[in-house]
Amino acid sequence: MIVMKFGGTSVESAEAIRRVAAIVAARVQQKPLVVVSAMGKTTNRILAAADKAAAGNLADALNSVEELKDYTRREALSAAGEASAKQVEAILSREFSSLESCMEAIAQRGELTPALWDEATSHGERISSAVVAIAFSGMGMNAAHLDAREVLITDSRHSQALPLYSRAYAKFKDAAVPLLQDQVVVMGGFIGSTQDGVTTTLGRGGSDFSAAIAGAGIEAEEIQIWTDVDGMLTCDPRVVEGGKRLRAVSFAEAAEMAYFGAKVLHPATVQPAIEKNIPVRILNSRRPEVEGTKIVGEVVCSTNPVKSIACKRGITTVNVRSLRMLMAHGFLRRIFEVFDRYKTPVDMVSTSEVSVSLTIDQTHLLDEILAELSKIAEVTVESQRAIVCLVGEAIRDTPGVAARVFAALARAGINVRMISQGASLLNISLVVDDSQVVNAVQALHAEFFAETDPEVFA
């Protein structure tokens, strides 16, 4: 058994779904469990409609849902073919009227509560998985649809739920494994449900996580993450082009890259896979012949100390300066308690005798946080920053990496505003102005990847 996960762009149109069908059909011998994201930008579009409903513009919200339905219907009918049209219409009519009711509920409450956020966004994967299953059958595969909410049991932390692993694994064994013996099983990523049957989601980008949980649940031989790039690259292609493909990276490196913005993989994904020692491979659904990137349990040795450069844009730094001359004990605890109380994750920290600098990427509660911090310290804020993060397991043992980083940035005229070497010693992270991030990545890429180890880089 294998898990094959296809992201939004891989199922965005009838043509894309047909490509996916061909890829899956060529691997039926391996008994695939297929996990799909919502089609294209569906999740964003549902959220935009939900925001309108919450702001009291129900008519606008319903209009947006109607437009989403038109697009989905056109692509789904074309992918499924004439003979399955009735089935597609039935699914779309059921799911879209449920989504409309959801918009009405949001408008009535006047806010998008976390539970309604989950209920609304879940429609994307509910629809895509049902459509893809019908399309597979229409193309001659023996395919079955599995509602992820029946197997992926989670806690009730809406919009960022965590699986209840042993319960979810037991459900996968009972419900998915028997089906997989003679059918291709298709389920939606991202969504799950509590033990009481309330719909939950695993957070944005969560379909990768679903795939890993499913893989661990069925004890798959491999988890394949099919996306729109050839694999993990040495830099984010949306920031700087010309990155090289990595043939292999370690779980630890992949987790670090994902955490610092390499969107190609959801940060939590690798955890269930590591525990069961299941290899993960990233592949391109537009170029299935490319080998992709293998994510493995052991260290991947290379003559290049840096494997990839990730970046996270739109970052805010908060500088907290003790009101006394020296930091009293308990100062750091009090600062972190404030961020904790407002459930705002801190990505990077650097401290000196009298001040602490932190970075955050969620700023919706920043005013409240600043008000509280001002009671104990002097606080300043800088927005429009970016974190640039060099990842590689050999960074810890290779002298001079930091020196090369700073020399390359200095030559490019880039001012480094904050530095930290993670405790894992697997990365060096720095903060620069967001307007300089492209130059910074270019300069660092030229410095560290002018020559690459052919064993590790394609």
Note whether 268 and 216 are within 8 A (CB).
no
Select from ligand ASP, ligand ADP, Mg ion, none the partner in contact with residue 9, using the beta carbon and a kind-dependent cut-off of 5 to 8 Å: ligand ADP
Select from Mg ion, ligand ADP, ligand ASP, none the partner in contact with residue 262, using the beta carbon and a kind-dependent cut-off of 5 to 8 Å: ligand ADP
Q: Which residues bind ligand ADP (CB under 6 A)?
A: 7-10, 37, 205, 227-229, 232-233, 235-238, 262-264, 308
Angle among Cα 74, 204, 238 to the nearest 5 degrees reads 80
CA 437, CA 255: separation in Å to the nearest integer?
Answer: 22
* Minimum CB distance to ligand ADP smaller for 183 or for 227: 227
Q: Which residue has the tokens 């499913």?
A: 214
* Minimum CB distance to ligand ADP smaller for 149 or for 307: 307
Note whether 315 and 404 are within 8 A (CB).
no
CA 449, CA 203: separation in Å to the nearest integer?
Answer: 33
Q: What is the DSSP string of 393-441?
A: GGGGG-TTHHHHHHHHHHHTTPPP-EEEE-TTSSEEEEEEEGGGHHHHH
Q: Does the footprint of Mg ion cover residue 205 (CB under 5 A)?
A: yes
* Minimum CB distance to ligand ADP smaller for 232 or for 390: 232
Select from Mg ion, ligand ASP, ligand ADP, none the partner in contact with residue 228, using the beta carbon and a kind-dependent cut-off of 5 to 8 Å: ligand ADP
- The interface with ligand ASP within residues 183-242 (CB under 6 A) comprises 189-190, 204-207
Q: How far is CA 60 from the centre of its chain?
A: 29
Quick one: tokens of 229? 């790039």
Give the contact letters, 135-174, x = binds to ligand ASP (CB under 6 A), - = no.
Answer: ----------------------------------------
Q: How far is the CB of 205 from ligand ADP (least distance, A)?
A: 5
Q: How far is the CB of 98 from ligand ASP (least distance, A)?
A: 17
Q: How far is the CB of 403 from ligand ASP (least distance, A)?
A: 39
Select from Mg ion, ligand ADP, ligand ASP, none the partner in contact with residue 206, using the beta carbon and a kind-dependent cut-off of 5 to 8 Å: ligand ASP
Q: Does the footprint of ligand ASP cover residue 37 (CB under 6 A)?
A: yes
Coil, strand or helix at 388:
strand
Among 43, 122, 183, 193, binds ligand ASP (CB under 6 A): 43
List CB contacts of 165: < 8 A, sequence separation 6 or more. 213, 216, 272
2-6/222-227 β-pairing: parallel
Q: Helices 58-80 and 14-25: crossing angle, nearest 10°? A: 50
List CB contacts of 326: < 8 A, sequence separation 6 or more. 353, 354
Q: What share of the chain is helix, strand, coil (3-state, %, to 5)?
A: 45, 25, 30
Select from ligand ADP, ligand ASP, Mg ion, none the partner in contact with residue 215, using the beta carbon and a kind-dependent cut-off of 5 to 8 Å: none
Angle among Cα 361, 344, 369 to the nearest 5 degrees reads 100
* Minimum CB distance to Mg ion smaller for 293 or for 304: 293
- The interface with ligand ASP within residues 97-126 (CB under 6 A) comprises 124
Q: How far is the CB of 298 from ligand ADP (least distance, A)?
A: 21
* Minimum CB distance to Mg ion smaller for 7 or for 138: 7
Residues in contact with ligand ASP by the rule CB under 6 A: 7-8, 37-38, 43, 124, 189-190, 204-207
Q: Name the residues that contact Mg ion, by CB under 5 A.
A: 7, 205
